[in-house]
Amino acid sequence: MRPLRLCITGFGPYKEKTELDLASLGKGGLYLVTGDTGAGKTYIFDAITFALYGEMSGSGREAKTARSQYSDPGEITEVELDFEYQGKTYHVVRNPEYIRAKKRGEGTATEQPGATLSLPGGRIVDGSSKVTEEIKQILGIDREQFRSIVMIAQGEFREVLNSSTDERIKLFRKLFNTEPYDRLASELGRMGKEVREKYDRKMSDLRSAIGTADCSFDEELETRLEAIKDTDTPSMESISSLLEDAIEVVTKKAEINAKDLEKAETELTEASNRLALIDQYKENLDFLENAKNSITGLDEKIKATKKALDDSETDKKQIDKLKSESALIEGSMDSYDKLDAIVKELDETNTALDEKTGKLEKAEADKKTAETLYSNLLKEKEDLRYSGENLARLRNELERTVNRISILETLLNEIEKVKGLEVDLKKEQDELKSLIDRAAKIDAELTEMRTAYLREQAGILASDMEEGEPCPVCGSKHHPEPAVISEGAPTAAEIEIKEQEAKTAHDDANEKSNSANKIKGNLNASLFSAKEIALKETGADDLDEAKAIAVRDKAVLEEDLKKYRSDEKDLEKQSRRSEEIDPELKKAKEDLDDLIKETNELNNDLTKLNASADGVKQRKIDIKKFLLFDSKTEAEERIIEIEEEIKSKNDAIKKRSDAYNEAVASKKANDARIEELEKVVEGFKQDDEEEAREAGYNAQQKKNSLNELKIHLGTCKMACNGSLSKIKEIEEDLIKIRKEHEVIDSLARTASGSLSGKERISLETYVQTYYFDRVIKRANRRLVMISGGQYEFARSDVSRDKRSHYGLDLEVVDHYGGSRRPVSTLSGGESFIASLSLALGLSDEVQASAGGIRLDAMFVDEGFGSLDSETLELAIRTLTELSGDDLLVGIISHVEALRTRIDKQIVVTKDRANGSKASVFIL
């Protein structure tokens, strides 16, 4: 188990999360954990042990109190460890029980111990004890073994040295797989126990078999049996002989008893016979008396039955009467048929009656409805009389209004037109003005141009002039200063153009003037007509005023128009209706008449039916006068009744006659019997009843007791037989068991080391001593070196006392003194190096043997302070040599000299305020 990374939070003096990269310490060699006292060195090893097993490195240190006193209530306490084992990496996180602040709300809560282990391959194990269990499986050792061979805790190294054989047995069992031997020993022990139990059981079987034997028939035998029962281990012979004797005796006795029994039986039979005869005689006497007594009774019975029989005559007469009644009824069956027919007819008539009544009622109802309808229609017709007139009147009004409206519209149009024309006129006039202006302008320009042209004549002339040529004006041939054409002087062509322009302008103006005038003319005409209309229609002269009035009136009229139009619609509807109503009226009248007719008819029918019904009723009454019953059915019932009565009467008569015959016969029989019995009684011989009874009683008693004896003897014999055979069986088994026991017992006792008188070493321990010897040899290599050849370990050959187990006790050989001493006599420093050597030897052997448990790391907590500098040097040398390349040995020590010797260090510094800090230094 090589730790790779350790992370401590809130644990011991480590408040802050402290991470130590232990992988950087390498795979082998020594490293030192150093720091001031109380800085937290041991807590590092505690953390490792805790992460693995949930407990601290030394006893007396508790995980419960591990929470750092520096931690705030909100901080956690936790240890994380990554470690490597057999090439695989594992990650375990664990926390102890501690009190922290509640996550929600005030106050504190207890965080339960918890752990999580991540295995290579992804599987996760959760839960404190589960993780510990898993780690045990993985590493192959539990915490105790860990403490013994991997973690030498502070102040506890002596324990390994001083432990007793029992403790070592447990340790070695785990380390060297000697458990099978232990199991073998316990198996043997179990087998031995089984055999013993079998033996015990057999012995108790024997005792119970003896118990079943019964010798109560003989006093002497009984005494012998009791004596045997009292002994613990009865001998087979004495029992067998006793039982055989008993069987002999009992058999003899049984024979005698059988004979006696026979005799008694005979006596008893005799006695019984006598008694039987006496009883019979007595019985017969009784019978005789009884028969004689019953004569009287029988005679009386005959009398009675006779009388009853005679009375039957009355009944016969009654029967005849009933017969005639029946015949009578039979005769009137026809009439009954008739009656039934009439009843049926009556029913039919009633039905018809009901039907008719129903129809009548309906017809009446309909009639009423038709009447109502007719009168309504009449009334409606009356109302519509005037509608036509109203409509015509309305239409007139409507037309008038429409006309007026159109006139007003015309007026408005005219006015608009006028207005329009006014606008147009203005426009034209404006345009005219502008055109005139333009023409004027152009004129002006033209005049100017002309003037300029004229003025330029001189220049023009001059330009045409040649020197020497005479001037057209003055005729001079010499032109010293010809006139110059000024800039912008217009040419004749330009003037012509301009003149054309002017002309056009003037034409435009004239045209425009004309059109304006035309418009004006229109305007005046319209104005005139509009004013006319306006005056006529609105009485206003002014067009604007007129317009306003017209608009107002028009609006009113349009409103009226609307109303008229809607009224018109209503009235039109009404007039349509009045046309429709006449045929309806006609039809209604017709319906009504029909219905009246119908009701009358129905009434007539009804009356007729009633009459016929009365007739039928009368007929019914007539017939019924002659009949007794209301219906045929009733009559038939009566007939059946009569027949039954007759039958019962006949039965009664027969019974009486039977009774009489019987009585007679009984008397006859009785008389015969009496005769017979008298004969028998006479022929009997007297005997003494009393004596006979006694004899019989005695005989019985004798027989009973003899029987009892027989049974008793039989039981005893059976018991003894059974007991004997059982005992023989048991004897055989016991021999076998005893032999088995011998064999196994010694094996079991040997294997468990409980042979009395011998030193108590068990099989397992024997095997373990072999390993222990090897461990000692390895340990000695170191011890010899460190102690300068002075000390060596030896296994003690003799136990201190013969009671406790021995075999793995340790002694120290002092070569300087040549003596052997118990380990406890070593000094502190010597104990330390001795236990260190032992631990090293043990771990060496564990790895070398086939156990497969690999220890890649070791931890030694203090102890070096007790060594002087030379021994310290030797110890370091030993550890270094041991560690080599594949064992990482960590030592905690405050010894100053080690700091300079060992390059790989974990330095722990204490800060009283904030908890400790630790970090890895590789020099």
Partner 1 sequence: MKFIHLADLHIGKRVNEFSMIDDQRYILEQITEKVKEDKPEAVLIAGDVYDKPLPPAEAVKLFDDFISALADTGTDVMVISGNHDSAERLSFGSRIMDKRGIHFVGGYDGETHKVTLKDEYGCVNFYMLPFIKPVHVRSAFPDDEEAQNLSTFTEAVDFAIKKMDVDTSERNVLIAHQFVTGGERSESEEISVGGLDNVDAEVFSTFDYTALGHLHGPQNIGNETIRYSGSPLKYSFSEVTQHKSITEVKLGKKGGKSAVESLVLEPIHDMKELKGSFYKLTNNDYFKDIKTDDYIRIILTDEEDVIGALQSLRAIYPNIMRLDYDNERTRSTMILPDTEGNDLRTPLEIFESFYESQNGKAMDDEQTEIVSELIGKVWGADK
Residue 94 interacts with partner 1 (CB under 8 A): yes or no: no
Stretch that binds partner 1, among 388-396, 410-418, 533-541, 749-757 (CB under 8 A): 749-757
Stretch that binds partner 1, among 184-192, 306-314, 527-535, 702-710 (CB under 8 A): 184-192
Residue 546 interacts with partner 1 (CB under 8 A): yes or no: no
Give the span between the Cα atoms of 42 and 34, in whole angstroms: 10
Residue 199 interacts with partner 1 (CB under 8 A): yes or no: no
Residue 873 interacts with partner 1 (CB under 8 A): yes or no: yes
Amino acid 113 reads P
Measured from the CB atom, is 187 or 636 closer to partner 1? Answer: 187
Selected from 758, 800, 802, 821, the binder of partner 1 by CB under 8 A is 758
Stretch that binds partner 1, among 7-15, 322-330, 584-592, 865-873 (CB under 8 A): 865-873
What dihedral angle (degrees, nearest 10) is formed by the CA atoms of 241, 245, 246, 248?
A: 140
Amino acid 563 reads K
CA distances from 413 to 405, 420, 548, 558, 896 (A): 12, 10, 13, 17, 132
Tell me how far, at minimum, the Cβ of 30 lies from partner 1, in Å: 5
Selected from 67, 143, 202, 778, the binder of partner 1 by CB under 8 A is 778
CA distances from 28 to 3, 788, 858 (A): 12, 26, 10
Pick from 855, 857, 868: nearest CA to 897? 868
Tell me how far, at minimum, the Cβ of 151 lies from partner 1, in Å: 21
Q: For tokens 């039982």, what's the residue?
A: 243
Q: E strands of 86-147, at which residues?
A: 88-95, 98-101, 108-111, 114-118, 124-126
Measured from the CB atom, is 324 or 756 closer to partner 1? Answer: 756
Residue 735 interacts with partner 1 (CB under 8 A): yes or no: no
Output the six-digit token pair for 33.
């954990």
Measured from the CB atom, is 225 or 872 closer to partner 1? Answer: 872
| 8 Å CB contact between 749 and 190 | no
Tell me how far, at minimum, the Cβ of 189 lies from partner 1, in Å: 11
Task: Point out which residues pair with 101 in neighbouring strands.
Answer: 108
* Residue 685 CB coordination number (10 Å): 6
* Residue 652 CB coordination number (10 Å): 12
Positions 454 through 513 that interact with partner 1 (CB under 8 A): none
Measured from the CB atom, is 615 or 788 closer to partner 1? Answer: 788
Give the span between the Cα atoms of 449 and 488, in whole angstroms: 10
Output the six-digit token pair for 398.
């409507």
Per DSSP, 218 falls in state -
Residue 877 interacts with partner 1 (CB under 8 A): yes or no: yes
Stretch that binds partner 1, among 7-15, 391-399, 607-615, 774-782 (CB under 8 A): 774-782
Tell me how far, at minimum, the Cβ of 4 lies from partner 1, in Å: 20
Stretch that binds partner 1, among 51-59, 465-473, 511-519, 895-903 (CB under 8 A): 895-903
Tell me how far, at minimum, the Cβ of 764 lies from partner 1, in Å: 10
Stretch that binds partner 1, among 13-21, 287-295, 687-695, 751-759 (CB under 8 A): 751-759
Q: Is 472 helix (H, G, I), strand (E, B) or coil?
A: coil
Give the span between the Cα atoms of 324 and 330, in whole angstroms: 10
Residue 892 interacts with partner 1 (CB under 8 A): yes or no: no
What dihedral angle (degrees, nearest 10) is formed by the CA atoms of 775, 776, 777, 779?
A: 90
Measured from the CB atom, is 386 or 770 closer to partner 1? Answer: 770
Pick from 182, 249, 187: nearest CA to 214? 249
Exposed, middle or buried: residue 673 (CB in 10 Å: 0-12, 13-18, 19+)?
middle
Residue 767 interacts with partner 1 (CB under 8 A): yes or no: yes
Residue 821 backbone phi and psi in degrees, to 5: -130, 155
* Residue 474 CB coordination number (10 Å): 8
| 8 Å CB contact between 13 and 70 | yes
Give the span between the Cα atoms of 36 and 909, in whole angstroms: 7
Exposed, middle or buried: residue 467 (CB in 10 Å: 0-12, 13-18, 19+)?
exposed
Q: Is 93 helix (H, G, I), strand (E, B) or coil?
A: strand
Tell me how far, at minimum, the Cβ of 901 lies from partner 1, in Å: 6
Give the span between the Cα atoms of 221 and 322, in whole angstroms: 102
Residue 896 interacts with partner 1 (CB under 8 A): yes or no: yes
Stretch that binds partner 1, among 47-55, 183-191, 223-231, 698-706 (CB under 8 A): 183-191
Positions 107 through 146 that interact with partner 1 (CB under 8 A): none
Positions 829 through 858 that interact with partner 1 (CB under 8 A): 848-850
CA torsion sign for 38, 44, 47, 49 is negative
Residue 887 interacts with partner 1 (CB under 8 A): yes or no: no
Selected from 870, 886, 909, 919, the binder of partner 1 by CB under 8 A is 870
Tell me how far, at minimum, the Cβ of 788 lies from partner 1, in Å: 6
Residue 298 interacts with partner 1 (CB under 8 A): yes or no: no
Measured from the CB atom, is 357 or 880 closer to partner 1? Answer: 880
Give the span between the Cα atoms of 164 and 761, in whole angstroms: 13
Output the six-digit token pair for 444.
């002006």
Measured from the CB atom, is 147 or 778 closer to partner 1? Answer: 778
CA torsion sign for 889, 887, 84, 114 is negative
Selected from 788, 822, 852, 865, the binder of partner 1 by CB under 8 A is 788
Measured from the CB atom, is 192 or 234 closer to partner 1? Answer: 192
Positions 791 through 830 that interact with partner 1 (CB under 8 A): 792, 813, 815-819
Residue 181 interacts with partner 1 (CB under 8 A): yes or no: yes
Q: Is 249 helix (H, G, I), strand (E, B) or coil?
A: helix
Pick from 650, 692, 731, 690: nearest CA to 238? 731
Residue 903 interacts with partner 1 (CB under 8 A): yes or no: yes
Q: E strands of 815-861, at which residues?
A: 819-822, 857-861
Give the span between the Cα atoms of 829 and 786, in whole angstroms: 11
Selected from 1, 595, 751, 810, the binder of partner 1 by CB under 8 A is 751
Residue 23 interacts with partner 1 (CB under 8 A): yes or no: no
Stretch that binds partner 1, among 94-102, 187-195, 347-355, 686-694 (CB under 8 A): 187-195
Residue 180 interacts with partner 1 (CB under 8 A): yes or no: yes
Tell me how far, at minimum, the Cβ of 903 lies from partner 1, in Å: 5
Measured from the CB atom, is 181 or 859 closer to partner 1? Answer: 181
Stretch that binds partner 1, among 272-280, 539-547, 717-725, 892-900 (CB under 8 A): 892-900
Q: E strands of 577-700, at which residues?
A: none
Residue 886 interacts with partner 1 (CB under 8 A): yes or no: no
Measured from the CB atom, is 67 or 778 closer to partner 1? Answer: 778
Residues contacting partner 1: total by CB under 8 A: 58
Residues that bind partner 1 (CB under 8 A): 29-30, 180-181, 183-184, 187-188, 191, 743-744, 746-747, 750-751, 755, 758, 761, 763, 766-767, 770-771, 773-774, 777-778, 780-781, 784, 788-790, 792, 813, 815-819, 848-850, 868-870, 873, 876-877, 880, 896-897, 900-904, 923
